[in-house]
Amino acid sequence: MHVEKNVSDNILGTLLNLDGKTKDNLKARCDLQDIGIRHELHPQSVDSNKIYLPPACFVMSLKDRDEFLKVLKNVKVPDGYSSNISRCIQLKQHKITGLKSHDSHILMQQLLVVALRGALPKVVVAPLIDLCCIFRELCSKTLNVQELERLESRSVETLCHLERIFPPSFFTIIVHLVTHLATEAKIAGPVQYRWMYPIERFLFDLKSDVRNKAHPEGSIAEGYLVEECMTFCSRYLDSVETIFNRPARNIDGSIGATSHIHLDQKTWMQAHRYVLFNSNEINPFRSIHKDIIKRQKRGTRPSEAVINKIHMENFVDWFQSYVMNSDGGKDDRFTEKIKWLAHGPNNLCRSFRGYIINGTKFRTKNYESNMKTQNSGVSVETEGGLTYYGILSDIIELNYYDKLRFILFKCDWADVTSNKGHKIDEFGLVLVNFSYLIHTGAKSNDEPFILASQARQVYYIEDQRNKDWLTVVKAKPRDVFDIGSHETCEDNENSHCDNLPYNIDITSMLESLNENLDWTRDDADGTTISEAPSHENLPLEEEYSNNSESDGDMENTCHSS
């Protein structure tokens, strides 16, 4: 927790060149001169009382700072995911202030990866992203010993890459502790049982009990005693809502006002067909219908795609006729559920603006347009492994005449089947473009609906540097645990990676980039210090390189600062 917070402060302060927080200052440049490395970054005397510090490769230009901070300023995360980080962004001053420990946690593990992309040279961005991924893996709820052993060496290599870029002053004691986090996790287990977040919350509650600042210990003791008494009494108040019997924050059900809408024939068909195709009881009938199509088209030998197209167009009517015209009393296949599914839903259905399913809150895009949070991002994975990404546009309840009810999400789906609507960048980030949609509902064979139980929440980060492209970040609801569908299950070697946001492999990228490492940037401005640190004038860089006496003068000046 504290390591992550301090590393985050070091990175942000240095990249944005924040006063008092940057690790790249005159003393840091003098250290480089004392060591005799990176001559391009050595301080230069430009006037009798001015010193010029050339722009390092890790320093952002004004344009880069604007774009970097705008990404963070415009971020909207799901409800309960984190605090409103945009309140800490000061665009005019190019500053980030007031970050809490959990804000730094979200920045390091999710947002910094997206915001850094394109703001700095790849040789700087790649190891920083790798460092963020290391923290992300260490905070996984499931740890793998072999993976932790790999992280031990990986964290050392990542810091070595960073040491080639940042000045020695950047690597404080807290930064070097990163190399020991994987070893600590091997000994002590997942970090969720060890970090300071619950302790800090408890200490905050104790501080709130202080009423008399002259006697804080006594106030805390009396306040704690009062809380214990209230807790004891609340155990016997069954009819009164207390912290022990009150409902959870996200109980499955609708949110906001409910309206009634009439479905047109095409929308009714699309919604009803999706329910049928995703009901296990209907699978035997689908196989029968496909066999009938194959027999009817035996002479033409249709492909599987043609059969599926005909099956999608005709199955609903065929299934209704097949069930209604059969003698259901003598066939055990035709249960009450099968009969009502064959009958079809009412075209009058309820529409919701928000819905909570499996502990996850979803809201339609129009409903949350003026909110600071984003709960409209949806993803669903098909049986073939293809993941679709969409924005929730409507929530309806299909009513099969009060016998069956299904909650469906209607979404605007990005076209993930083409490069126009979906791509993966060089850092492994998934980007989608909602200017190119698929399954819009305009065609009868489109599938704009999914079952609410199938939806997985994501949120999208807008980056003006990639116009119309949104970066996808997976979200996981709090206090919801996946215990599996079987009583016993073997460990999956990839299960520890479920909590990872991205699949990034930058080892080969770092090897190629480090060969062409430039210490300075041509597109950024350096820093000019108005007052010299001593009475001696600093020599120019050209004089330093050609005059050994000037070298000694520079060393004395740097030591005096």
pLDDT digits (tens, 9 = 90+) for 319-360: 999 988 876 556 677 888 999 999 999 999 999 999 999 889
Residue 273's pLDDT band (cuts 50, 70, 90): very high
Which whole number is the average pLDDT over 267-279?
95
CA distance 137 to 472: 18
Question: Each residue of 152-185: pLDDT tens digit?
Answer: 999 999 999 999 999 999 999 999 999 999 999 9
pLDDT at residue 310, rounded to an integer: 93
Mapping DSSP to helix (H, G, I), strand (E, B) and coil, where does residue 439 land? coil
For the entire predicted model, the pTM comes to 0.86
Here the tokens at position 351 are 């529409």
Confidence check: pLDDT of 493 > 60: no
Among positive and negative, which fits the CA dihedral 133, 139, 142, 145? positive
DSSP string, 489-546: -PPPTTGGGTT-S-----HHHHHHHGGG--SB-SSS--EEESS-SSSSPPPPHHHHHH
* CA distance linking residue 334 with residue 323, whole number of Å: 7
Q: Residue 325 is encoded by which pair of tokens?
A: 């015209």
183 contact partners, CB below 8 Å, separation of at least 6: 148, 152
Any bridge partners for residue 397, and if so which? 350, 407
Tokens 């949070």, residue? 373
Domains and CATH numbers, the chain: 2-195+509-516 (no CATH), 197-234 (no CATH), 251-263+347-478 (2.30.30), 268-344 (no CATH)
Which DSSP helix (H) or strand (E) runs through 255? strand 253-262
Task: Name the residue type at position 33.
Answer: Q
Amino acid at 173: I
| Angstrom distance (rounded) from CA 250 to CA 82 | 16
Residues 105 and 82: their CA atoms lie apart, in Å, by 9
CB 373 within 8 A of CB 85: no
- For 433-477, write each residue's pLDDT tens digit: 999 999 999 998 999 999 999 999 999 999 888 888 999 999 887
DSSP 8-state assignment for residue 56: B
